[in-house]
Structure 1
Amino acid sequence: MSKYYLAVDIGASSGRHILGHLENGKMVLEEIYRFPNGMKPVNGEKIWDIGALFGEVVNGMKKCRELGKIPVSVGIDTWAVDFVLLDENDKRLGNAVAYRDDRTKGMDAKVYETVAEDELYATTGIQKQIFNSIYQLMALKEKKPELLTKARTFLMIPDYLHFLLSGVKAQEYTNATTTQLVNPKTGDWDRERIEKLGYPVEMFLPIQEPGTAIGHLKEEIQKEVGFDCNVVLPATHDTGSAVVAVPSNDKNVLYISSGTWSLMGTELLEADCGKEAMQRNFTNEGGYNRRYRFLKNIMGLWMIQSVRKEIAADQSFGEICESASKCTIPSIVDANDDRFLAPENMTAEVQKACEETGQQVPQGIAEVAAVIYNSLAKCYAATLQELEEQTGCRYDNIHVVGGGANADYLNQLTAKYTGKTVLAGPTEATAIGNLAVQMMAGEELADLQDARSCIFQSFAIKQYPVV
């Protein structure tokens, strides 16, 4: 009889519940529930409706009972950097504010009044992103200090959802590192600098490893969903889970976790916190088994998602990709420019960027998408060159995992601009990595090498040669 594991994978625009089990040595997936997600404006803030999200987590778990496929464990992964604060009674303080909210404007300067930027990188290895938790906390300190005064517990979004399921407060490693408050050498909070910054140091819990079983479902949750199971921490940062699912055991592996963001990088056994890595804006995010995801954040398919919503809601991403491939517009924009982080209108912003640089202004979804796809691929090529210079390694190919593995035209462009063979798949990398960590915890997979070999054998990998 199969042992089922449940991955709850929540992204910025949607979430899904995927059951996984092993069959003849291969991982088999079954999506059983999907639900929408998105930022909402509330009282001048962009927030996540965390109560509704948890309601959907529970609704999806009920489907397991309906199907008669009861998981032995469940684990939740989400995006990084966002968090909630709990008071002395474990009640949430304020909103779950989204990273695209503009409350962090100017907060970098406030942080650097206490901790110099180069010192911060040298002691955390995390690239500067204005939405990192360290700047979000400074925004609270400056604008809503009463919330920090009342705070007794800091939990990242997936940790809070695990708490609502189990009643156990636990802080998982991979997501904790994205706060820019963790020391990569110790793998623990940099409590000295947290204290210097004026954040309540006591609210930061001991950090737990991915694969840790933190408890069972709370009694009221058991009654609601109709079963009990273990709650196991996966790599709760979705990119952390996606990288677990990169189907390669090569010593030097290069990947792009392609979705809302494009995360391009490699794995290191020791963090690179040097000045050159900082200047190039590489980050050393925590990975499974204390590996380091040495990578760069690139704006990603958020740009395509936005323009589709604005001017081509009736077209699928596949149709948009196909129509873009037939365009010859030569214009290129800087895909990493902050102007594309949360513009009021992405289409207009891309057009404006082309106009400002004297390039052909794209018209219609095909041309706008073509500009975006070419710009992303150009950015991948530049990042590849920096990675090879920084690590001293030469990479033979690029593994593209996540939803972007389906973007044929982008994969073709990536091979063209980088001069590397692109190996695309699996597309469900985040859920697969989540499940793999649970299966390792359940002793059905021996270790990371075994998990990646299983993933390689289980899912189709499409090859895009250099043309």
Structure 2
Amino acid sequence: MKKCYLAVDIGASSGRLIASHLEDGLLKLNEIHRFKNGIVQKDNQFCWELDRLFAEIKKGIKKCRDMDLKPESIGIDTWAVDFVLLDEYDNPLTNSVAYRDSRTDGMMEEVFKSIMKERLYFETGIQFQKFNTIYQLYSIKQKNPEILEKAKSFLMIPDYFNYLLTGKKANEYTNATSTQLVNAFTKKWDHEILDQLEINKEIFQEIHTPKTVLGNLTENLIAEFGFDMKVILPATHDTGSAVISVPELEETIYISSGTWSLIGVENHFPICITKALDYNFTNEGGIDYRYRFLKNIMGLWMIQEVKRNYHDHYSFAELVDLVRQVQGFTSTVNVDDPRFLKPENMIEEIQSYCQETNQAVPYTPGEVAKCIFDSLVCSYQQAITEIEEIFERNFEKINVIGGGCQNKMLNQFIADATKKEVYAGPIEATAIGNIVSQLMALGEIEDINEARTIIKHSFEVKKFLPTPIITH
């Protein structure tokens, strides 16, 4: 059987298991299994199907055996902020409610009654978003306090899957920071915040960093799969893994482009200052206690929803082609307006926004899609301006990573708007970052610098230059 390392990368719309190995100093990837993910309605709430997702993870692991692959290790990453509460018997107390659910409406303002907004930011360094874990937990405390009273363990989504694999409970650092409950300086759960909100701090697990070998599979799973392997913590927050894959970060702003757009820089200390608070930037944990100083912007979720609203009549590539045919349409929306988080109909919400702001209303699929792409670029441009103001320097390059980097038109729009060089790739950035974390844990790769050198030589990165302005 051929030795490999497994990355489980689950995003808001799909999941995949990717096997990888080193060959002649290069990283090779092989997609083993791909499956759909999405929010479903249960008991009048929007929820994730965790049982089904774990079944898909197991299905992918079994495919390795059928393909004569022997995984040495496995690492799991997912989206952030969402979690599972377990009772004294280690059973989930509730459905796994998704961050797009409305239960957090108004909760941020309720928390501010107990903790000043400024204090919360200066201690955690985390961007204010109404769906952060802190507001989800506070919603449970306000509406269903009996659930928190019964809770014995708090696990974020990848923590929960790791528990199902190993029987061991741990909170991983990069994902834990997204809760807005970890102190940016001590890098531990902030007990003062938890005490002030009267949330039981005993339910939280010890925080472990990426590259931690959590353990081996349970005996039942070894019997089911026919082999054992190590379960290793990558940066379990998918963006944390994705940023590891940016080949060069010295003069570069990155955009991790997927359902969300995460735009920022890598830093070695948190920037918890008033200007960062005013601009609503976050200091999420990264590998080796680096910080991802970034802004979380609505991403390709909007175009995903538009595609769904058109009953999948158009592919993403066809929508891009329709945009190219649009002439003279320039309306834009504020992509971070909460109305776009989970509207009944994204197309109608965009049209209403344009009408309310006295702009031309997009009616054709091409106009709707162009409105989204132009609006995303506007938000990117604004975030870049704010980053350069805070750092008091100009960044020469932008590196777009993740699935969204395949959109050549959007890459060119970004280059033209920012007047910067745009580099696109690697595409499977999150899985790659996940894999190299495992390789570093096992001593196959020495450190993050060697990892990024290997990534740079292993995967194609395309370059986009600003279109020259022709003057007569």
- Pair in the same fold by TM > 0.5: yes
User: Are 1:186 and 2:183 an aligned pair?
Assistant: no
Structure 2 match to 1:307: 306
Cα separation, 1, equivalents of 2:8 and 2:432 = 11
The question of whether the paired residues in 2 share the 8 Å contact of 1:252 and 1:266 is answered with no
Structure 1 match to 2:129: 129
Q: Letter of the 1:375 partner, please give it.
A: S
1:277-292 paired onto structure 2 within 5 Å: 277-292=276-291
Cα separation, 1, equivalents of 2:437 and 2:365 = 39
SS in structure 2 at match of 1:435: helix
SS in structure 2 at match of 1:142: helix
Post-superposition shift, 1:110?
1.6
Structure 2 match to 1:326: 325
User: Are 1:10 and 2:10 an aligned pair?
Assistant: yes
The question of whether the paired residues in 2 share the 8 Å contact of 1:255 and 1:400 is answered with yes
Structure 1 match to 2:60: 60
> Which residues of structure 2 form unaligned runs of 5+?
468-472
The question of whether the paired residues in 1 share the 8 Å contact of 2:86 and 2:92 is answered with yes
Cα separation, 1, equivalents of 2:197 and 2:165 = 32
Post-superposition shift, 1:325?
2.3
The question of whether the paired residues in 2 share the 8 Å contact of 1:210 and 1:233 is answered with yes
Cα separation, 2, equivalents of 1:172 and 1:436 = 17
Cα separation, 2, equivalents of 1:464 and 1:437 = 29
Structure-1-length-normalised TM-score = 0.98
1:73-112 paired onto structure 2 within 5 Å: 73-112=73-112
Q: Letter of the 2:214 partner, please give it.
A: I
Q: Letter of the 1:322 partner, please give it.
A: D
Post-superposition shift, 1:319?
2.0
Change in Cα spacing, 1:312 to 1:462, as seen in structure 2 (3 Å) is farther
SS in structure 2 at match of 1:264: strand
> Which residues of structure 1 form unaligned runs of 5+?
none
Query: For 1:421-445, what per-residue CA distance to the aligned partner results, in whole angstroms no more than 9, with x for missing partners?
Result: 1100011111111111011112111
Q: Over the residues paired in the alignment, what is the CA RMSD in angstroms?
A: 1.0
SS in structure 2 at match of 1:334: coil
SS in structure 2 at match of 1:4: strand
1:59-458 paired onto structure 2 within 5 Å: 59-248=59-248, 250-311=249-310, 313-328=312-327, 329-458=329-458
Post-superposition shift, 1:195?
1.3
Query: For 1:204-260, what per-residue CA distance to the aligned partner results, in whole angstroms no more than 9, with x for missing partners?
Result: 111001010110011111122221100000100000000011111x43431000000
Q: Where in structure 1 do 4 or more consecutive aligned residues deviate above 3 Å?
A: none
Post-superposition shift, 1:335?
1.2
Query: For 1:408-432, what per-residue CA distance to the aligned partner results, in whole angstroms no more than 9, with x for missing partners?
Result: 1111110011111110001111111
For these two proteins, the number of residue pairs brought into alignment is: 466
Cα separation, 2, equivalents of 1:34 and 1:446 = 30
The question of whether the paired residues in 2 share the 8 Å contact of 1:17 and 1:31 is answered with yes
The question of whether the paired residues in 1 share the 8 Å contact of 2:343 and 2:349 is answered with yes
The question of whether the paired residues in 1 share the 8 Å contact of 2:261 and 2:297 is answered with yes
Cα separation, 1, equivalents of 2:93 and 2:100 = 19
SS in structure 2 at match of 1:344: coil
Post-superposition shift, 1:326?
2.4
SS in structure 1 at match of 2:352: helix
Structure-2-length-normalised TM-score = 0.97
Cα separation, 2, equivalents of 1:321 and 1:111 = 42
Q: Letter of the 2:391 partner, please give it.
A: T
SS in structure 1 at match of 2:178: helix
Post-superposition shift, 1:312?
5.4
Cα separation, 2, equivalents of 1:145 and 1:94 = 12
Cα separation, 1, equivalents of 2:313 and 2:452 = 37
Cα separation, 2, equivalents of 1:423 and 1:322 = 22
The question of whether the paired residues in 1 share the 8 Å contact of 2:20 and 2:30 is answered with yes
Cα separation, 2, equivalents of 1:9 and 1:25 = 23
Cα separation, 2, equivalents of 1:23 and 1:326 = 44
Change in Cα spacing, 1:42 to 1:103, as seen in structure 2 (3 Å) is same
Cα separation, 2, equivalents of 1:367 and 1:166 = 50
Cα separation, 2, equivalents of 1:291 and 1:253 = 15
Post-superposition shift, 1:2?
5.7
SS in structure 1 at match of 2:15: strand
Cα separation, 2, equivalents of 1:325 and 1:195 = 54
Change in Cα spacing, 1:195 to 1:341, as seen in structure 2 (3 Å) is same
Q: Letter of the 2:298 partner, please give it.
A: M
1:24-63 paired onto structure 2 within 5 Å: 24-63=24-63
Cα separation, 1, equivalents of 2:458 and 2:62 = 27
**Residue range with higher mean Cα deviation, 365-374 or 258-267:** 365-374
Cα separation, 2, equivalents of 1:253 and 1:147 = 45
The question of whether the paired residues in 1 share the 8 Å contact of 2:2 and 2:69 is answered with no
The question of whether the paired residues in 2 share the 8 Å contact of 1:71 and 1:229 is answered with yes
Q: Letter of the 2:289 partner, please give it.
A: R
Cα separation, 1, equivalents of 2:196 and 2:381 = 39
Post-superposition shift, 1:317?
1.4
**Residue range with higher mean Cα deviation, 264-273 or 323-332:** 323-332
Cα separation, 2, equivalents of 1:27 and 1:36 = 26
Post-superposition shift, 1:364?
2.3
**Residue range with higher mean Cα deviation, 356-365 or 97-106:** 356-365
Post-superposition shift, 1:314?
3.0
Q: Letter of the 1:195 partner, please give it.
A: D
Query: For 1:259-289, what per-residue CA distance to the aligned partner results, in whole angstroms no more than 9, with x for missing partners?
Result: 0000000011110011110010000000011
**In percent, how many aligned pairs have the same letter?**
51
The question of whether the paired residues in 1 share the 8 Å contact of 2:73 and 2:232 is answered with yes
Post-superposition shift, 1:203?
0.6
The question of whether the paired residues in 2 share the 8 Å contact of 1:4 and 1:71 is answered with yes
Cα separation, 1, equivalents of 2:394 and 2:447 = 26
Post-superposition shift, 1:363?
1.5
Post-superposition shift, 1:322?
2.2
